[in-house]
Amino acid sequence: MHAIQTSGNCIRNVTADTYAGAVADEVTDSRVWAEIVRQWSTLHPEFSFLPRKFKIAVSASPFDRAAVRFHDIGLIAKRDDRGGLVFEVLAGGGQGRTPMIAKTLNDAVPAEDLLSYLEAIMRVYNLAGRRDNKYKARIKILVHDLGVDEMVRRVETEWAVMRDGALKLPEDRIREIEAHFAPPVFETLSDDPFAASVGTGAEPGFAGWVRTNTVAHKAPGYAIVVLPLKEPGAVPGDLGADAMEAVADLAETYSFDEIRVSPDQNLVLPHVQWSELRELWAELKDLGLATSNAGLIGDMIACPGLDYCSLANARSIPVAQRISRRFADLDRQLEIGRMRVKLSGCINACGHHHVADIGVLGVERAGKEAYQVTLGGNAGNDASIGDIVGPAFDAHTVVDAVEAVIALYLELRETGEAFAETYRRVGSQPFKEALYPEKYHAAA
């Protein structure tokens, strides 16, 4: 994150995978390429007054953790048949009033040509993007209106005359930026993670915490640790000053003095030795930060809502708190399995409800707060926008609606089937009937 060019109709902060530089499945460190893009875009004289604000995300793993398909431009790093680094470049994604999934413009831009290709996209958008209506000014509208084939034609035409110009990235410059993201000096360790760390006679809850809150690290003997800020009944993503100081101390002790913040409103310690997990867990437990619900239904996202935001139509935080209390039992969360619940207090979708398994959108109906439920969204590789299932619920019944969806999912799912898979297999109708029984029973 940086504070230059973070507002206005320009290229905003460029984001990367939360686990970049640490996770076992990446093909390159996406932070390096996010920084390259940042240096190119910051104070760019040609793109300081775009039709609308602009956001870019970079992923470098087989599983997209940066939501690249819901950004103005998304970049996916991968290796070609000869082992060279290339980028799939997508454009036109976003949420808000008009959620859209980005379209691939080029599936193999060589790394050295990345900046020239991005500049070609920006020139097309800067010239053709609408400035007469801010609700139709994002690049997603341009890609939709032109169609992906015409957008590609215009970009490729622009790129052809500038590809071999000043923006071609020299290898030494890439290596120079990589040096700024060099990993810490890891100890040479054996990698027998789970069994060695948990052992026998483990304290209650430790084994579950390791299973849910750690991610495979690229260095043997190390793990990535997720600290969900989602205690049952608490404000999602909230952390007091004293706790922040304590976590900073833990990062210094266990994770080379590094903390990251995830899009899921959690903290991440990216480099922790497996042999030190038990001690770290004990200290987190004393702080009330050892909740073993990373990726489960209790690990939900909520925007500030009407409690803090002047744009909101409804409160998000109290609804999130009631949902977390309803599903506070960890055994129940584990039975449900991975589940993304996200709440937004208005159509701007800061809570990312469009891409949740269960999304909740706060709206205003006749001067009262109401909550619209969407199902089947996904921000990852198999991207989808959640379906609106029916009329909004009031503040007293929306939690019951979430529970009805969960109950039906548990009834319908096949072995090992995630919610999105069940939803796509059976469709929305069974869930509509469960959520609005009076309507469908009356029709029958």
Distance CA 98, CA 41 (A): 26
What region, left, alpha or beta, does residue 390 occupy, with left being phi > 0 and alpha being psi -120 to 50 degrees?
Answer: left
Q: How many CB atoms lie within 10 A of CB 215?
A: 19
**Gap between the terminal Cα atoms of the chain:** 55
**Per-block mean pLDDT, blocks of 10 residues, the chain (444 long):** 85 95 97 97 95 97 97 98 97 97 98 98 98 96 98 98 96 97 93 63 82 95 96 94 97 98 96 95 95 96 96 97 96 96 97 98 95 97 97 96 98 96 97 94 61
pLDDT of residue 196: 59
The closest alpha carbon to 168, from 203, 122, 116, belongs to 116
The closest alpha carbon to 59, from 50, 48, 68, belongs to 68
Is beta strand 214-216 parallel, antiparallel or unpaired with respect to 103-110?
Answer: unpaired
pLDDT of residue 7: 86
pLDDT of residue 268: 98
Distances (CA, A) of 271 to 45, 90, 254, 379: 39, 31, 8, 26
Chain centroid offset of residue 323 CA: 21
pLDDT of residue 5: 86
Q: What domains appear along the chain, each with residue ranges and CATH number?
A: 11-180 (3.30.413.10), 193-287 (3.90.480.20), 301-443 (3.30.413.10)
Distance CA 86, CA 200 (A): 46
The closest alpha carbon to 142, from 163, 160, 124, 157, belongs to 124
pTM for this one? 0.95
